[in-house]
């Protein structure tokens, strides 16, 4: 079917909740994708930071296929090996305690929030349930994670949301201290606000928040849904911030395209959730865990992560070297980059890039966001840069 034919049927049959770019994608290889009309694109978006190994990765596809032949799903009423392997890898690479498996970023955050509230309930009783998050954050679209998200525009229409969240200004310790009260049980934040505009938090602020959490027995919840799994050049972004979170949520890159989320808790709080307190039918299902095992075996390797850092640095330098009046800077870490443009111009530029053969997305009010596959080749980066030069 052509794009026009597909669009007509999409309009008829699919709820209109996305402002989609005007192309229909068909297949991919590496960091390159083709649309249904055969037009080629270098993908600097990777499904919003999901396809970390690119498209048609042999190791990933074989792992999924082999596991699908054995068992796709059996539920959490039975023990399965792939899930245990993923958990063991996450724990080994971080020195943390135990893992709960979910199916998406929002769901991982729900689990993290429930864990924090129960930790506090078990220790201090009812009422100490408030979680401080940051202004401009993004934590998901469920009724609870919407309210964890510190952006009013997402809250409209859906009231009443889950209560018990308050928002502090990013990089402002006084603002955070002012929100702290006897009802507070945790602080939750992204280390680089992704949807908010690719805004890295200051290291000093993050470390001061960690200290504040320790002083007040608040759990430090780090949302690594977008920054995790090698995206910023370390397995988790917190490893570059010199902090030790109590709980880390992740999703996106973990399955390399297979839907999986996870909550990774430190030893001090990894036994808080007990039978009957949290569950999900699909969580940790063997087929997606086979994918996550393949991803972690590749991405958690230090040489691979060093390459992510080098590629990110190279892209950043080359984008700045374009020297366009449209480019006001490049923010981010590793292969999570935001090209800063005039406010409101990011969508127009992303559309132009797509028209010319580069998939890029937007973030916040003024960022063209790049989240390419971590495996993107030098040749693919060069091709993308040539097009970016032309567009910017
Ligand atoms: N948290 C962060 C930091 C995210 O960037 C996102 C999605 O963009 C989410 C949570 C929600 O993840 P999902 O869309 O998988 O529910």
pLDDT score, position 65:
98
pLDDT in tens, 294-315: 999 999 999 999 999 999 999 9
Q: How far is the CA of 173 from the centre of ligand 1 (A)?
A: 25
290 lines ligand 1 (CB under 6 A): no
What pLDDT band is residue 265 in, cutting at 50, 70 and 90?
A: very high
Pocket mutation for ligand 1, best pick of 104, 105, 261 (most atoms within 8 Å of C-beta): 105
Cβ of 225 closer than 6 Å to ligand 1, yes or no, is yes
Buried b (16+ CB within 10 A) or exposed e, 325-336: eebeebbbbbbb
Dihedrals φ, ψ of 191, to 5°? -80, -30
Residue 224 in contact with ligand 1 by CB distance below 6 A: no
Task: Report the topology of domain 71-299.
Answer: 3.40.640
Of 18, 144, 226, best ligand 1 pocket probe by most atoms within 8 Å of the beta carbon:
226
**Candidate of 45, 47, 138, 253 to mutate for ligand 1, largest count of ligand atoms within 8 Å of Cβ:** 138
Q: How far is the CA of 208 from the centre of ligand 1 (A)?
A: 25
With beta carbons less than 8 A apart as the criterion, state whether 229 and 203 touch: no
For 127, 338, 348, the CA distances from 362, given in Å and listed in that order, are 39, 8, 10
End-to-end Cα spacing for the chain? 33
In eight-state DSSP terms, residue 30 is: B
Instruction: Name the fold adopted by 3-56+301-391.
Output: 3.90.1150
pLDDT value of position 12: 98
Q: What is the pLDDT of residue 257?
A: 98
Mean pLDDT of the chain, nearest integer:
98
CA 246/CA 341 separation, integer angstroms? 36
Residue 255, pLDDT score: 98
Q: For 277-289, what is each residue's pLDDT tens digit?
A: 999 999 999 999 9
pLDDT bracket for residue 138 (50, 70, 90)? very high
- % pLDDT > 90, the chain: 100
- Closest C-alpha to ligand 1, atom 1: 139
Structure confidence at residue 40 (pLDDT): 98
Query: For 173-198, what is the mean pLDDT?
Result: 98
Read off the pLDDT of residues 204-227 as tens digits, 9 standing for 90 and up.
999 999 999 999 999 999 999 999
The pLDDT assigned to 285 comes to 98
Report the Cα 333 to chain-centroid distance in Å.
13
Say yes or no: CB of residue 380 within 6 Å of ligand 1.
Answer: no
Q: What percent of the chain has pLDDT over 70?
A: 100
Establish whether residue 287 lines the binding site of ligand 1, counting it when its CB lies within 6 angstroms of any ligand atom: no
Q: How far is the CA of 202 from the centre of ligand 1 (A)?
A: 21
Ligand 1 pocket member 105 (CB < 6 A): yes
CA-nearest residue for atom 12, ligand 1, is: 105
Specify the pLDDT at position 160.
96
Q: What are the tokens at 288?
A: 């997606």
Residue 339: pLDDT band with limits 50, 70, 90? very high
Residue range 59-88: mean pLDDT, rounded: 98
Chain CA centroid to CA 256, Å: 12
Query: Is ligand 1 within 6 A of the CB of residue 109?
Result: yes
Tell me how far apart the alpha carbons of residues 244 and 207 are, in angstroms, rounded to a whole number.
9
pLDDT of residue 74: 97
Averaged pLDDT for residues 19-25? 96
Q: What is the pLDDT of residue 284?
A: 98
Please write the tens of the pLDDT for every residue from 343-381. 999 999 999 999 999 999 999 999 999 999 999 999 999
Domains of the chain, by residue range, sit at 3-56+301-391, 71-299
Peptide bond into 160 cis (omega under 30): yes
37 CB-near residues (< 8 Å, 6+ apart): 2, 3
Confidence of residue 103 (pLDDT cuts 50, 70, 90): very high
Annotate 212-259 with DSSP letters as a single string.
HHHHHT-EEEEE-TTTTTTTTSSSSGGGGTT---SEEEE-GGGGBTB-
Residue count (the chain):
392
> Residue with structure tokens 């201090």?
124
């Amino acid at each position: 079917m052509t794009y026009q034919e597909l669009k007509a049927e999409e309009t008829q049959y699919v709820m209109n909740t996305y402002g989609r770019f005007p192309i229909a994608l068909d297949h991919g290889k590496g960091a390159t994708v083709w649309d249904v009309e055969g037009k080629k694109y270098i993908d600097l978006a990777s499904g919003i930071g999901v396809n970390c190994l690119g498209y048609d990765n042999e190791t990933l596809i074989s792992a999924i296929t082999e596991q699908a032949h054995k068992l796709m799903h059996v539920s959490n009423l039975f023990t399965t090996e792939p899930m245990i392997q993923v958990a063991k890898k996450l724990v080994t690479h971080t020195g943390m305690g135990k893992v709960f498996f979910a199916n998406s970023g929002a769901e991982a955050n729900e689990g993290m929030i429930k864990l924090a509230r129960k930790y506090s309930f078990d220790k201090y009783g009812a009422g100490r349930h408030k979680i401080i998050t940051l202004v401009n954050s993004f934590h998901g679209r469920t009724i609870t994670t919407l309210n964890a998200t510190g952006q009013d525009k997402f809250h409209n229409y859906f009231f009443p949301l889950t209560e018990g969240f308050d928002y502090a200004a990013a990089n402002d310790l006084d603002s955070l201290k002012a929100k702290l009260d006897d009802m507070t049980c945790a602080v939750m934040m992204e280390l680089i606000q992704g949807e908010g505009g690719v805004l890295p938090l200051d290291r000093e602020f993050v470390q001061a928040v960690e200290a504040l959490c320790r002083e007040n027995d608040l759990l430090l919840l780090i949302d690594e849904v977008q920054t995790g799994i090698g995206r910023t050049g370390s397995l988790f972004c917190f490893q570059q911030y010199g902090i030790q979170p109590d709980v880390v949520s992740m999703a996106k890159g973990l399955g390399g395209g297979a839907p999986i989320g996870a909550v990774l808790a430190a030893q001090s709080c990894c036994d808080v959730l007990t039978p009957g307190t949290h569950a999900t039918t699909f969580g940790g299902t063997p087929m997606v865990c086979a994918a996550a095992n393949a991803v972690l075996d590749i991405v958690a390797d230090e040489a691979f992560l060093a390459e992510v850092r080098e590629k990110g640095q190279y892209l950043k330098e080359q984008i700045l070297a374009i020297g366009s009046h449209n480019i006001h800077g490049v923010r981010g870490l590793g292969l999570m980059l935001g090209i800063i443009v005039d406010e409101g111009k990011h969508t127009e530029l992303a559309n132009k890039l797509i028209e010319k053969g580069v998939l890029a997305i937007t973030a916040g009010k003024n960022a063209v966001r790049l989240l390419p596959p971590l495996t993107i080749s030098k040749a693919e980066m060069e091709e993308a840069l040539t097009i970016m030069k032309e567009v910017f």
